[in-house]
Amino acid sequence: MSDAQSVPTPRPGRREVLELTRELLRIDTVNPPGNEREAAEVALAYAKRFGLTGSLQPIGEGRANLHLVLRGKGEQAPMMYCGHLDTVPLGTAEWTRPPHAAEVDEDGVLWGRGSVDMKGGLAAMLVGMTTLARADVPRPADVHFLATAGEEVDCAGARAARDSGALEGIASLVIAEPTDLDLVVAHKGALFLEFVTYGRAAHGAMPDQGVNAITHMMSLLERLGALDLGLAAHPVLGGPTLSVGTIQGGSVVNIVPDRCSAQVDLRRVPGIEHAALVVRIEELLEDLRSTLPDFEAQMTVTGDYAAVGTDPGEPLVRAAGRVLEGVLGWPPEVSGVSYFSDGSILHPGANLQTLLFGPGDPHLAHQTDERVPVAALERAAEFFTLLPLAPATS
């Protein structure tokens, strides 16, 4: 028997990931305001019990990132596990079970805000790392753990981590967004735009005396919807999408409106940078100025989140597929998602192999009665335990 065969396979404790997830769920990190520091401190205290080194990075009052490191032999480039500590608000509908009570029902399902998105995934990652820390097995590479503040609003924690150099030397990034235990190799980016068209007020009985800002906005949005973005369909994500999210204009029915605003959500796939898209849209506005009498408009970029894509043939994805097949007992699905993650901030420019994987049905994220099967948490913790031990071969 070889040395590799004689090394026992580390396995996380059966209830360990459940108890850590419940502890995190009982901390209210609804964003705004966030209050992620308390959850970060709980995770840090847990990690230090098993010899991991780490520190908090303050982001603002009551807010912080957490960065941990589990040292390896340095034979391979470091890997980073990542997830966010904040959650979305509870909504107005009544919950079946209290959203911060972390109750487990008779079917073995854990309920609570953040159980899916994504404290369950964070806990599974952390339990995987502490299981490795306790096991007498050689670790080929350092494993980093980054828990961020603010992902649900502005990715403030990811931006702070990136700017502080937390990703220096990291070769691969695994983000614990809920994927129902599938491997997600790509997600769309988001470009949030606000448009304002300007007109000239006049009496509603004499519209020819004014310039209607709403009519001009309708022309703009029609042209925008027909704009060729120069993007071929992505093999996993499909094509880009455009949605008008808000529109406001006018004051009363008998005045020609002199101002109209609209917010647009543009989801793109890998293949074109957001800066190039902005240039194309500016050219569209200039064309409208030259062809539509009295047309005037301005555009503001209010959110910019890059698309993320990793080739399924990359070593990280291949290793993850082998590990997950062993955990699940069947070949995993490889897919893409339309939402964005902290990977939009951490991935660009770093040339990182990036993968999303986590427990929980993504359709339950941001929903009333968010919940996750305990069995899914346990499988995720096993995956995160074994992934750093998988050979990083192409």
Residue 15 CB neighbour total at 10 angstroms: 11
Do 28 and 159 belong together in one domain? yes
pLDDT-above-70 percentage for the chain:
97
282 occurs within a structural domain: yes
The total number of structural domains in the chain stands at: 2
At residue 177, does pLDDT exceed 90?
yes
Quick one: which H or E segment has residue 197?
Answer: strand 189-198
Q: Looking at the structure, do residues 51 and 176 belong to the same domain, yes or no?
A: yes
Q: Kindly report, residue by residue over 48-92, the tens digit of the pLDDT.
A: 999 999 999 999 999 999 999 999 999 999 999 999 999 999 999
Looking at the domain assignment, is residue 334 inside a domain?
Answer: yes
Residue found by looking up tokens 């079970």 in the block: 97
Q: Is 394 among the domain residues?
A: no
Q: Which residue has the tokens 């031990």?
A: 389
Average pLDDT of span 138-145:
96
Write the burial class of residue 110 (CB in 10 Å: 0-12 exposed, 13-18 middle, 19+ buried).
buried
- In the DSSP assignment, the letter for residue 212 is -
pLDDT in tens, 304-328: 999 999 999 999 999 999 999 999 9
- 66 and 172 in a single domain? The answer is yes
Assess if residue 322 is contained within a domain: yes
Instruction: Judge if 229 and 127 occupy the same domain.
Output: no
Classified as helix, coil or strand, 120 is helix
| Amino acid at residue number 232 | A
Say how far apart CA 375 and CA 297 lie, in whole Å.
53
Q: What is the mean pLDDT of residues 109-115?
A: 98
For residues 241 and 350, membership in a common domain is answered with no
Give the mean pLDDT of the chain: 94
CA dist., res. 207 & res. 12, Å (int):
72
Could you tell me the CATH number of the domain that includes residue 183? 3.40.630.10
Q: Residue 235: its pLDDT value, please?
A: 87
256: tokens are 């020609």
pLDDT tens track for 300-310: 999 999 999 99
Section 95-108 average pLDDT? 98
- pLDDT at res. 371: 98
* Residue 65 domain flag: yes
**Same-domain check for residues 217 and 259:** yes
The reply to whether 122 falls in a domain is yes
pLDDT of residue 233: 83
Residue 302 three-state SS:
strand
Same domain, 272 and 218: yes
My answer on whether 208 and 98 are in the same domain is: no
Report the C-alpha gap between 43 and 387 in whole angstroms. 21
pLDDT of amino acid 390: 92
**238 located within any domain:** yes
Within a domain: 11: yes
Same domain, 83 and 104: yes
| 10-37 pLDDT per residue, tens | 989 879 999 999 999 999 999 999 999 9
CA-angle at 77, arms to 68 and 81, nearest 5°: 35
The pLDDT of residue 131 is 97
Percent of the chain clearing pLDDT 90 (strictly above): 88
Listed residue (285, 119, 258) closest to 193, CA to CA: 285
Per-residue pLDDT, 231 = 73
Domain check: are 321 and 172 in the same one? Answer: yes
Tokens of 123: 């806990």
- List the strands of the sheet with 241-249, edge to edge: 241-249, 259-268, 189-198, 297-305
Q: Are 256 and 176 part of one and the same domain?
A: no
Q: What are the distances in angstroms from CA 208 to CA 199, 255, 307?
A: 12, 12, 45
For 24, the domain range is: 3-187+307-389
CATH number for the domain that contains residue 262: 3.30.70.360
| Final residue in a domain of this structure, among 253, 279, 305 | 305
The two structure tokens encoding residue 263: 């917010």
- What pLDDT score was predicted for residue 1? 34
Domain-terminating residue out of 286, 305, 324 = 305
Statement to judge: residues 345 and 301 lie in one domain: no
Q: Of 250, 283, 305, which marks where a domain is finished? A: 305
Residue 3 confidence (pLDDT): 42
Cis ω for the linkage preceding 78 (within 30 of 0): no
